Structure formats: structure tokens, C-alpha cells
């Protein structure tokens, strides 16, 4: 049973389209994240939610909109896709916010290719 | 801006040849230091958490250590299956800041 699952795993689309990536965790964690890993393999934080409340919102174009319908789900919607949005997007979860609430658990990633 | 850097960028070892990977980080505000392993096409997989200078954690051929300004991942007698990218991350506030990774290749 996958702990953090993302769909779809691969996404190929044209510039200007809108797409969504879904993430679900079955670990009972309170905190979820979206990270972007570019072609140089650098993982950069995009957003984080704790119990459905946005707590981290890095400098990300407002074409990117996260949504957390409940604490087990964090979806990412991207409008007007651009070539530079091509990357692997990782969802992750963590037990909570306190210092000793452990590590991030990652999904397998969603590879987005914008043509 | 909180920063995490890693060296070397890439490392090729012969099977059985021990070595160390380095992670340096912004000291102010660090709440914990994490090591992950990432295989191609996969998400990062947790290895170790370190919270205090002097702390050490061990798992099979890997040992992670933490000083006041850097962390090391020591690999003893590596095997080809240890080939992967190793990432370290510092937690600042609620944000995990990742380093660029060290790509390790272990040749048989």
C-alpha cells in the first residue's frame, strides 16, 4: 500500500494548457508539501499545507495553485503552462510541524513535459 | 537565505573503496539535518536524521555524522547497489532546504 501516491506519473502537454497533479497520503500526517525538481536535480519547495492551511508559499508564479480539500490530499493545478514548467514535481508529507516530528515521506514524482 | 551545499558533485568509487560525502549548511536557524537517497526515476528515500553536533547514526554500510557546521555521510566498503544520488536537507522553520546532491557511482 503506497504511503504517498501521486497521479499522473507522466504528463505531456502543450504550452498554454492547464493541468493538475493529485497527491494523497495514507500515513495520517498533518503536513504536506509540493517540491519541484528541475533538470539539474535541485529540489525546491513550492508550497506546504498543515491541516488544510497554507503555511509555506515560496516565490512561485500565481499560475500555480495548490488545493488541500482535506489533510490527506494536496493537489497542484497549473494554468497556462510554459516550457520552463517542465520538471518533476514531488509531493511529500510529514507527521507534523514540531522539530522532532520526523522526516519527509516522498511520492514517486510526476514528470511534466511541456512542448 | 538558508543554504545547503554538498560536495563532491559526483563521485566514482570502486567496490570496497570507502569514502565520505560532505554537506555544509547555514548554521543559524537549523532545526535538524536529514540525509536521503534518490534512485533514478524515484522519490527521495529517507536515510538519517541528526539533530545535535556530535550525533552519529549508522545503517549497514552508511554512517552519518554531524558537526557544528557540516555533516558527513561515510560509506564503508560500498557495493554497486549503493549507486544513487545522496541528498542532504536542513530544516529551517517548516521548510526542508535541500542541497544539490552527490551522484555516487560504485563500480564492480
Interchain proximity A43–B31, CB inside 8 Å: no
Distance from CA of B65 to the nearest CA of A (A): 17
Is the CB of residue B84 less than 8 Å away from at least one CB of chain A? no
What does the pLDDT read at residue A1?
Answer: 67
Predicted pLDDT of residue B56: 97
Residue B72: how many other CB atoms lie within 10 Å: 16
B90 pLDDT band (50/70/90 cuts)?
very high
Cell of B25: 549548511
What is the rounded average pLDDT of the residues A79-100? 91
If phi > 0 it is left, if psi is from -120 to 50 it is alpha, else beta; for residue B64 that is beta
The 3-class SS string of A96-109 reads CCCCCCCCCEECCC
| Beta-carbon count within 10 A of A14 CB | 8
Which residues lie below 8 Å from residue B48, measured CB to CB, with a gap of 6+? B34, B35, B57, B59, B62, B64, B73
The total number of structural domains that make up chain A = 1
**pLDDT tens per residue, range B46-78:** 999 999 999 999 999 999 999 999 999 999 999
The pLDDT-based confidence of A100 (bands split at 50, 70, 90) is: confident
pLDDT higher than threshold 90 for residue B80: yes
pLDDT above 90 as % of chain A: 77
Cα B25 from Cα B77, distance rounded (Å):
27
pLDDT digits (tens, 9 = 90+) for A80-89: 999 999 999 9
Q: What is the pLDDT of residues A28-70, one digit of tens each?
A: 999 999 999 998 888 999 999 998 899 888 878 999 999 999 9
Whether the Cβ atoms of residue B18 and residue B106 lie closer than 8 Å to each other: no
With a cut of 80, say whether residue A98 has pLDDT above it.
Answer: no
B57: Cβ contacts below 8 Å, ≥ 6 apart? B48, B49, B50, B63, B64
Domain ranges of chain B: 4-103
Q: Any residues with CB less than 8 A from the CB of A10 and at least 6 apart, and which?
A: A110, A111, A113
Torsion of CA B51, B46, B59, B71, to 10 degrees: -40
- Residue pair B35/B48 in contact (Cβ under 8 Å)? The answer is yes
Sign of CA dihedral B98, A97, A20, A65: negative
Grid look-up 530544516 returns B91
Q: Is B45 on the interface with A (CB under 8 A)?
A: yes
Please write the tens of the pLDDT for every residue from B6-35: 999 999 999 999 999 999 999 888 999 999
Contact indicator for B43, A109 with CB cutoff of 8 Å: yes
Do A48 and B34 lie within an 8 Å CB cutoff? no
Q: What is the pLDDT of residue A9?
A: 96
Q: Which residue of A has its CA nearest to B100?
A: A42
Domain carrying residue A104: 4-114
Under CATH, which architecture does the B4-103 domain have?
Sandwich (2.60)
Give the residue among A100, A32, A92 at the shortest CA–CA distance from B50: A100
* CATH assignment of the domain containing A67: 2.60.40.10
| pLDDT for residue A97 | 78
Report the gap between the CA of B78 and the closest CA in chain A (Å). 23
Amino acid at each position: 500500500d503506497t504511503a504517498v501516491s501521486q497521479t499522473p506519473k507522466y504528463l505531456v502537454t502543450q504550452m498554454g494548457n492547464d493541468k493538475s497533479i493529485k497527491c494523497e497520503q495514507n500515513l495520517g500526517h498533518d503536513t504536506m508539501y509540493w517540491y519541484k525538481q528541475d533538470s539539474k536535480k535541485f529540489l525546491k519547495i513550492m508550497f506546504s499545507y498543515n491541516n488544510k492551511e497554507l503555511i509555506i508559499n515560496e516565490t512561485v508564479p500565481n499560475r500555480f495553485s495548490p488545493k488541500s480539500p482535506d489533510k490527506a490530499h494536496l493537489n497542484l493545478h497549473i494554468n497556462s503552462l510554459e516550457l520552463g514548467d517542465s520538471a518533476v514535481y514531488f509531493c511529500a508529507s510529514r507527521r507534523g510541524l514540531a522539530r522532532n516530528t520526523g522526516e519527509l515521506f516522498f511520492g514517486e514524482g510526476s514528470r511534466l513535459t511541456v512542448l | 537565505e538558508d543554504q545547503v551545499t554538498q560536495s563532491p558533485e559526483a563521485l566514482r568509487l570502486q567496490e570496497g573503496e570507502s569514502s565520505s560525502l560532505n554537506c555544509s549548511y547555514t548554521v543559524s536557524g537549523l532545526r535538524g539535518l536529514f540525509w536521503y537517497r534518490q534512485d533514478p526515476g524515484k522519490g527521495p528515500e529517507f536515510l538519517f536524521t541528526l539533530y545535535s553536533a556530535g550525533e552519529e547514526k549508522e545503517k549497514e554500510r552508511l554512517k552519518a555524522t554531524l558537526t557544528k557546521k557540516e555533516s558527513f555521510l561515510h560509506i564503508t566498503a560500498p557495493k554497486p547497489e549503493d549507486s544513487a544520488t545522496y541528498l542532504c536537507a536542513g530544516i529551517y522553520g517548516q521548510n526542508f532546504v535541500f542541497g544539490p546532491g552527490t551522484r555516487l557511482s560504485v563500480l564492480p
